[in-house]
Amino acid sequence: NAGVTQTPKFQVLKTGQSMTLQCAQDMNHEYMSWYRQDPGMGLRLIHYSVGAGITDQGEVPNGYNVSRSTTEDFPLRLLSAAPSQTSVYFCASSYSTSGGERLFGPGTRLTVL
């Protein structure tokens, strides 16, 4: 199993540009989620999904869109990038909600100029 994969590893955007961060898992996990990590603030939940076709908002959803058309993929879209979205983004998946261990991808470092 490749586990949880994320692309790209690094990205630089200009303010106002849009882009999609890719996340995929090959473990048939139903639950997937996106976090952002900022210095001194830990990881904060952006959006999550409990299965194909089902998504919900986390703590900091503004400026981000998600969709879940397949079990394997859970892309995160930045509609109009802002400097406040400069962060490290992690995708995670789990075999179950609540008590299930989240397996994390390697992260994407995004800089918005």
Binding of residue 26 to another protein (CB under 8 A): no
Q: Which of 27, 45, 52, 82 binds another protein (CB under 8 A)?
A: 45
Q: What is the Cα 32 distance to its own chain's centre?
A: 8
Is residue 105 within 8 Å of 96, Cβ to Cβ? no
Binding of residue 27 to another protein (CB under 8 A): no
Candidates 20-28, 60-68, 78-86, 103-111; binding stretch for another protein (CB under 8 A): 103-111
Binding of residue 43 to another protein (CB under 8 A): yes
Q: What is the Cα 42 distance to its own chain's centre?
A: 15
Q: Which of 5, 15, 84, 97 binds another protein (CB under 8 A)?
A: 97
CA nearest 93: which of 68, 64, 63?
Answer: 68
Output DSSP code: residue 75.
-
Q: Which of 56, 70, 83, 95 binds another protein (CB under 8 A)?
A: 56
What is the rounded distance in angstroms from the CA atom of residue 31 to the CA atom of residue 55? 10
What is the rounded distance in angstroms from the CA atom of residue 39 to the CA atom of residue 109? 13
Q: Which residues bind another protein (CB under 8 A)?
A: 31, 33, 35, 40-45, 48, 50, 56, 58-59, 88, 90, 92, 97-99, 101-102, 104, 106-107
